[in-house]
Amino acid sequence: MGQDIDPQRRRGRGATSNGTGRFESQTYEEFDDGWDSLETLDAFQRIVHEENARTIITTNKSPDISFNKSINPYRGCEHGCIYCYARPTHTFLGHSAGLDFETKIYAKPEAASLLEVALSRPGYKPQTIALGTNTDPYQPIERGYKITRQILEVLERASHPVAVVTKSANVTRDIDVLSAMAERGLVKVALSVTTLDSKLARAMEPRASTPFKRIEALRKLSEAGVPTTVMVAPIIPALTDHELERILECASKAGAQEAGYVLLRLPLEIKELFEQWLEEEVPHRAARVINILRSMHGGAHYDSAFGIRQRGRGPYAEQIANRFRLACRKLELGKQSLELRTDLFCGATPPGAQLSLL
């Protein structure tokens, strides 16, 4: 995975290292040559690459997730959540799953135009599109690029259903579009809340909105008539699992109507990145966190089997599932399912297309 990077160079970031991607033929490592060269290296800054994507809708056949169509306006995520399951995808681009994932961001400026083309194709059948399933659609770069907003505007014009997932309170910027879609049963928004401990959140997800702001975002969206969901994700055993009921309660008071949870997942590079982070930030809990997690994956750090990867198995996993179920029942979360409409879909007109005279 690579050696730890100097704390001043990675200030405000989640990962502690930046090892070479697993597909690279050569590895690179910083070392002190005796000339104090490491002291002159700059801090990690965001570098944006504009990607010339050919398509924008991604499909999947995973039986344990609730959608099979999704859109990700960005690759990489500056939120820097140390546990992010999307980190390994950056190695396909020749980058590290560590600090590169947080600082080398790919934007898709033509996403809205590509979406209009996709929605205008003959025979297109509308299904709820999940927005932000891999990396966050409202990460800091969205303030300038506004790709997510452009996508929402296309979906709103086409009366196409969408489910948004984010850790950013910046989602409230688009309340005008979201509330208009909500009036027709076309949208719901999920805010992911991992912990209510601001200090822990700052270390674990350094550039995401604070827990308080996420709860407030749920409140503002709910008051505007936008159906909301709270995702307690990921649940980290021996670190955040004790907050499960409290998070659900705060979200319910803010107006959330549904809830979900996902157990911490540590595939590929995330395992070492997360263990490095534990040893630096919460060394007194590191061994216990990993040992409990392994007990839920048959002795391994991670089990990729459908149905197991997000929930785990065994007594500890069952205890979390029962606590979640009881809390939701008490708070009446999920009492009414938030089904989105597909019957209003009216298609889209791609850029440059000739408009109908009738």
Q: Is residue 5 part of a domain?
A: no
Q: Is residue 303 part of a domain?
A: yes
Nearest to 190 by CA among 77, 67, 292: 67
Q: Are 166 and 189 in contact (CB under 8 A)?
A: yes
> Which region among 78-92, 195-209, 303-317 has the lowest average model confidence (pLDDT)?
303-317
> In the prediction, which pLDDT does 306 show?
87
Dmax over CA atoms of the chain, in Å, equals 76
Tokens coding 303: 């089990």
> In the prediction, which pLDDT does 354 show?
52
How does DSSP classify residue 128? P
Tokens coding 42: 């700059």
Q: Is residue 120 part of a domain?
A: yes
Segment 4-63, tens digit of pLDDT = 777 777 877 888 877 766 665 555 555 554 445 445 566 778 899 999 999 999 988 877
Segment 159-200, tens digit of pLDDT = 999 999 999 999 999 999 999 999 999 999 999 999 999 999
Distance CA 308, CA 305 (A): 5
Residue 332 zone, left/alpha/beta (φ > 0; ψ -120 to 50; rest): left
How does DSSP classify residue 10? T
Tokens coding 237: 């055993």
Mean pLDDT, the chain, integer: 90
CB atoms under 10 Å from CB of 316, counted, come to 17
Segment 145-165 shows an average pLDDT of: 98
Could you give phi then psi for residue 172, rounded to 5 degrees? Answer: -70, -15
All residues at 6 or more sequence positions from 339 whose CB lies less than 8 Å from its CB, including other chains: 185
CB atoms under 10 Å from CB of 59, counted, come to 10
Q: Is residue 169 part of a domain?
A: yes
Q: Is residue 154 part of a domain?
A: yes
Q: Is residue 30 part of a domain?
A: no
Range of the domain at 227: 40-331
Distance CA 27, CA 154 (A): 43
Tokens coding 275: 């263990």
Rounded to 5 degrees, what angle do the CA atoms 92, 53, 113 make? 150
* Structural domains in the chain (count): 1
Residue 336 has pLDDT above 80, yes or no: no
Distance CA 316, CA 294 (A): 11
Segment 291-332, tens digit of pLDDT = 999 999 999 998 888 888 889 999 999 999 999 999 999 999
Q: Is residue 306 part of a domain?
A: yes
Q: Strands 129-131, 69-71: parallel, antiparallel or unpaired by DSSP?
A: parallel
Q: What is the DSSP string of 159-173?
A: T--EEEEES-GGGGG
**HSE (side-chain half, CA atoms, 13 Å) at 116:** 13
> Which runs of E-coded beta strand occur in the chain?
47-50, 58-59, 69-71, 74-75, 104-107, 129-131, 162-166, 187-192, 228-235, 258-263
Q: Is residue 249 part of a domain?
A: yes
The enclosing domain of 281 has a CATH number of 3.80.30.30
> In the prediction, which pLDDT does 216 show?
98
To the nearest whole percent, how much of the chain has pLDDT over 90?
A: 74
